[in-house]
Amino acid sequence: MPSLENLKKQAKLFLRWHRERYYPVAAQIRILLPRFRNLNDAQVLAHPFRLSDAQELVARQSGFGNWEALKKGVATMNSLADRAASRPKLMGSQPQLFVADLQASCSYFVDKLGFAIAFTYGDPPFYAQVRRDGAALNLRHVDQPVFDTALRAKEDLLSASMTVDDVKALYLEFEATGMTFHQKLRKEPWGATTFIVKDPDGNLLLFA
């Protein structure tokens, strides 16, 4: 991202080019500064051209109306860039699924979807995590349904969405296990290819 100091140097360079009658700069001045618009190259280079004109030229090149607006804009952009570089980074996401039978749910993810159990917690276990490659899902035991299961199925209310490098191959893998799909493999209007499976608790899992 350009610093204000570099932009000042750029303005001084335009000023020097004008004084040296450097013809390529004439076209830029004529296009970007309205008061020069009706002049030819020779007239632009003969016309008085001050540092403030050169600064306005740099500002307009950068999408600002004038030099003051450019200075404020650069300060804001640099501040945002500094905050983005220093702020904590999100390292991953782990959706939580609510399940009635933790052991049965773990077995489903392992046997049907090819996940592995990363850990279980509690005695008896009430929490677990299953993983497959870069995808992780946390399973939380509940005694009562958390969602309106009919509404969730009707509206396709997803519990998790996972991106796959070869979605068709994964679909065929799941199909070979006798999987019943909530939504079969299809091409979406926005270009993605997706399918949805429903776990024993009605959680809808989209693969895309």
What is the structure's pLDDT at 80? 56
* Helices 4-19 and 23-32, packing angle to 10 deg: 120
What is the structure's pLDDT at 61? 84
Torsion over CA of 101, 129, 182 and 171, rounded to 10 degrees? -130
How does residue 74 score in pLDDT terms, banded at 50, 70 and 90? confident
The percent of residues above 70 in pLDDT, for the chain, comes to 93
What is the structure's pLDDT at 158? 92
State pLDDT tens for residues 12-25: 999 999 999 887 88
State pLDDT tens for residues 187-197: 987 778 999 99
Asked if residue 42 lies in contact with residue 65, where contact means CB atoms within 8 angstroms, the answer is no
26-43 mean pLDDT: 88
Q: Look up tokens 């303005």; give the residue.
A: 11
| Domains of the chain listed by start with CATH number | 4-86 (no CATH), 96-207 (3.10.180.10)
List, in sequence order, every residue forming a beta bridge with 107; answer none if it has no partner. none
Asked if residue 112 lies in contact with residue 174, where contact means CB atoms within 8 angstroms, the answer is yes
181-204 mean pLDDT: 91
